């Protein structure tokens, strides 16, 4: 889920530009093609959106500061994973 939260903002400018190209071609108002795509600007905007998403997750994200971590341990020959209680 977290990977999707990072991938989606990056791909959003590219999807928006593809939608723009499709609508412009349908209306025949733009002579642009996929070769004319401003890849650099789309990448910069996508990375900026990822940075904003990371910042929002850091500020608004859930934290376990008031809880205790119990490390992993061996019980009856099996590893019991660690957890936060």
Residue 48 lies in a domain: yes
The predicted structure's pLDDT at residue 30 = 61
The predicted structure's pLDDT at residue 47 = 95
The predicted structure's pLDDT at residue 32 = 66
Residue 80 lies in a domain: no
The predicted structure's pLDDT at residue 64 = 64
Residue 36 lies in a domain: yes
* Contacts for 60 with CB less than 8 Å, ≥ 6 apart: none
The predicted structure's pLDDT at residue 67 = 84
Number of structural domains found in the chain: 1
Q: What pTM does this model have? A: 0.61
Residue numbers of the domain that contains 1? 1-59
Q: Residues in the chain with pLDDT < 50?
A: none
H/E stretch holding 23: helix 2-27
Residue 24 lies in a domain: yes
């Amino acid at each position: 889920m977290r990977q999707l939260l990072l991938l989606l903002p990056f791909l959003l400018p590219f999807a928006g530009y593809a939608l723009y190209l499709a609508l412009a071609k349908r209306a025949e108002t733009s002579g642009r093609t996929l070769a004319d795509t401003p890849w650099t600007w789309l990448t910069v905007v996508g990375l900026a959106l990822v940075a904003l998403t990371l910042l929002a997750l850091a500020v608004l994200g859930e934290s376990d500061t008031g809880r205790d971590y119990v490390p992993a341990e061996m019980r009856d020959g099996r590893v019991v994973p660690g957890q936060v209680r």
